[in-house]
């Protein structure tokens, strides 16, 4: 399954690997799905992980962030959208949709209510992390 995982979910998975969304990064590492991302999404992710309040509160190290970037380099596909989508009021949300369209993703995994209320756009499902994990389980017959 090809999916864009919103930066808010990736950040949660990094800061709390034992939490409810932690399995998403573990499953990416095992190549159980294809992660699609764009330069804009990577920049947003790295910008937020560099925030002192996050780094201090969750003891994020340069090594932890470097491990995430290495995982993305190994298991994710970088796409370069050459169009602009203006479906959402928040331009950062539009960037998520642009990456999904450019990468022919089946779904966008997000906790963002603005995106989840869209339900579907151009054949791309907007789903919560729990549903994404359930879909991966179903694909594997778990």
Rounded CA gap, 49 and 93, in Å? 18
The DSSP call for residue 89 is S
The DSSP call for residue 123 is T
pLDDT of 109 reads: 97
Rounded CA gap, 83 and 91, in Å? 13
pLDDT tens for the chain, residues 1 to 142: 999 999 999 999 999 999 999 999 999 999 999 999 999 999 999 999 999 999 999 999 999 999 999 999 999 999 999 988 988 888 789 999 999 999 999 999 999 988 888 888 999 999 999 999 999 999 888 7
Kind and range of the H or E run holding 17 = none
pLDDT of 16 reads: 93
Hey, what domains does the chain have and what are their CATH numbers? 2-139 (3.40.50.1010)
What b/e sequence results for 110-130 when a residue is b if at least 16 CB atoms lie within 10 Å of its CB, and e otherwise?
Answer: bebeebeebeebeebbbbbbe
pLDDT of 98 reads: 96
pLDDT of 119 reads: 81
pLDDT of 118 reads: 87
- H-state helical runs in the chain: 7-15, 22-29, 39-49, 52-58, 62-75, 91-102, 113-116, 129-139
pLDDT of 120 reads: 87
123 φ/ψ sector (left φ>0, alpha ψ -120 to 50, else beta): left
């Amino acid at each position: 399954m090809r999916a864009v995982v919103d930066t808010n979910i990736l950040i949660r998975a990094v800061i709390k690997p034992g939490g409810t969304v932690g399995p998403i990064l573990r499953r990416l590492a095992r190549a159980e799905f294809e992660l699609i991302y764009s330069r804009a999404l990577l920049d947003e992710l790295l910008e937020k992980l560099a925030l002192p309040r996050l780094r201090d509160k969750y003891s994020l190290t340069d090594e932890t962030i470097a491990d995430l970037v290495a995982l993305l380099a190994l298991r994710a596909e970088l796409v370069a959208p050459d169009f602009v989508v203006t479906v959402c009021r928040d331009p950062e949300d539009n960037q998520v949709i642009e990456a999904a369209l450019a990468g022919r993703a089946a779904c966008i995994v997000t906790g963002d209510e603005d995106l989840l209320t869209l339900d579907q756009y151009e054949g791309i499902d907007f789903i919560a992390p729990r549903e994404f994990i359930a879909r991966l389980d179903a694909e594997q017959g778990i």
